[in-house]
Amino acid sequence: MVDPERLHRLLRRVTADLHALRGYAAMEPADVMADAARLGHVKYLFVTALEGCIDAAHHVAASEGLRPVDTNADAMRALGEHGVLSPDLAGSMASAVRFRNVLVHGYADVDDSRVVGYLQRVGDLEGFVADMARLLGD
Tell me how far apart the alpha carbons of residues 110 and 106 are, in angstroms, rounded to a whole number: 6
Range in 29-38, 73-82, 107-116, 124-133 with the lowest mean pLDDT:
107-116
What is the average per-residue pLDDT within 71-100? 96
Count of structural domains within the chain: 1
Domain, as residue range, for 10: 4-135
**CATH code: domain of residue 55:** 1.20.120.580
Q: What is the 3-state secondary structure (H, E, C) of the chain?
A: CCCHHHHHHHHHHHHHHHHHHHHHHCCCHHHHHHCHHHHHHHHHHHHHHHHHHHHHHHHHHHHCCCCCCCCHHHHHHHHHHCCCCCHHHHHHHHHHHHHHHHHHHCHHHCCHHHHHHHHHHHHHHHHHHHHHHHHCCC
- Over the stretch 51-79, which tens digit does the pLDDT of each residue have? 999 999 999 999 999 999 999 999 999 99
pLDDT for 137 equals 85
pLDDT for 108 equals 64
**Per-residue confidence at 117, pLDDT binned at 50, 70, 90?**
very high
